[in-house]
Amino acid sequence: MIDKQIMKLPGMKQLLGLLAGLSFLQALFIIGQAYGLARAITGLWEGRPLEEQWGWILLFFCSFIARQAVIYFRSKRLDDYSYQQAADLRDQLLEKLFRVGPQIAQQQGTGNVTTMVLEGINQVENYLKLILAKIMNMSIIPWVILALVFYLDWESGLVLLLVFPLIIIFMIILGYAAQSKAEKQYRTFQLLSNHFIDSLRGIDTLKLFGVSKKYGKSIFASSERFRKATMASLKVGILSTFALDFFTTLSIAVVAVLLGLRLINEGILLFPALTILILAPEYFLPIRDFSSDYHATLDGKNAMTAVTEILHQPEAQVPAVTVPRWQEDTQLTIDQLAFSYEEKAALRDINLNVTGF
């Protein structure tokens, strides 16, 4: 899911290290929330006075505030980094376009290049903000929570461990379907951009020959194809989100039912059962967050790939030519100059003789 080009961005390794540390801290604060809340509820259930539970309640609120502080700091850091990298990519893309000239515009299409510089870079910025944090959370937080669940009750930990890979496999299958739809949508968007810009630039010529309405219908047909491709991509994205939410909710319900039956049969104490029940939604939360923005990350990945392809296009090496200064004895002679364009002669038998003065 992560584009390989992301790893080549400056400062990426340091940022990933920071995000890994923040994700680990967030997992600890999640556990602190669950532990404090479960301890307070268990104490009240056992008939202890409320005054004895203020310490656990304070642990819950402190962990909650610290967790939000970690999320805010991570979001702020990712916003700054993604904005800077997007600005650098835009500068590199513009420099490449000015350096190479109209060659890229002829290959990619004027509308596609214009859209890439404007909207494509914004999609890359959003992609960087979303994918890095979500991937790191999904890689660290569930396993820290799972370790504590195994410590409290190995049976519940085994249920969570078996369910998680199944959800990942299901998400991968739907992810491939969504990726193919997103790539088709992006290609249709490129075609629509090129068609619209080319028609807009040649509107006077189209009116002159009386075919402007025909091209208007052609643009409408292209926009309809783009609309259908977008809706098809959204259908897959909504289906995958619904299916993932359904299976994660079902998994949490299974854990809750098993814990309830064991509580009734005195197979587990209230505190570990309540702690596991509180942690179960947090265990699946990273993967649910990832799936909710999966379509946006696909758009950003496609834009990142398109920008990278342009930046890596080879440039023709033009040898440096030194032109001597024009002096009084300098002489320029042109003899029998001819020039043809598309096999049609434009210039023929041009002779010129200029002497310096």
What are the tens digits of pLDDT across the range 190-234? 666 666 666 666 666 666 666 667 666 767 776 777 677 777 767
What are the tens digits of pLDDT across the range 294-338? 666 766 777 777 777 777 777 666 555 666 777 777 888 888 888
Q: What is the mean pLDDT of residues 36-50?
A: 87
Q: pLDDT value at position 69?
A: 95
Q: pLDDT value at position 246?
A: 80
Strand partners, 340: 345
Model confidence at 356: pLDDT above 90: no
In whole angstroms, give the CA distance from residue 247 to residue 159.
13
Model confidence at 10: pLDDT above 70: yes
Answer left, alpha or beta for residue 311, where phi above 0 means left and psi between -120 and 50 means alpha: alpha
Instruction: Assign 65 a pLDDT band (cuts: 50, 70, 90).
Output: very high
Cα four-point dihedral sign 248, 253, 254, 260: positive
Q: pLDDT value at position 181?
A: 65
Q: Which residues of 289-299 are buried (b: 16+ CB within 10 A; e: fewer)?
A: ebbbbbbbbbb
Q: Which residues of 191-222 are buried (b: 16+ CB within 10 A; e: fewer)?
A: bbbbbbbebeeeeeebeeeeeeeebeeeeeeb
Neighbours of 61 (CB within 10 A): 12
Q: pLDDT value at position 66?
A: 95
Task: Please state which of the four CATH numbers 3.40.50.1370, 1.10.3470.10, 1.20.1560.10, 1.10.600.10 is assigned to the domain occupying 4-324.
Answer: 1.20.1560.10
Picking from 33, 77, 75, the residue whose alpha carbon sits closest to that of residue 289 is 75
Query: Which DSSP string corresponds to 203-272?
Result: HHHHHHTT-HHHHHHHHHHHHHHHHHHHHHHHHHHHHHHHHHHHHHHHHHHHHHHHHHHHHHTTSS-HHH
The model's pTM: 0.71
Mean pLDDT lowest among 44-48, 164-168, 195-199, 262-266: 195-199
Cα separation values, 278 from 75, 244, 259, 309, 345, Å? 25, 19, 12, 46, 82
Q: Are 29 and 62 in contact (CB under 8 A)?
A: no
Q: pLDDT value at position 354?
A: 81
Q: pLDDT value at position 96?
A: 77
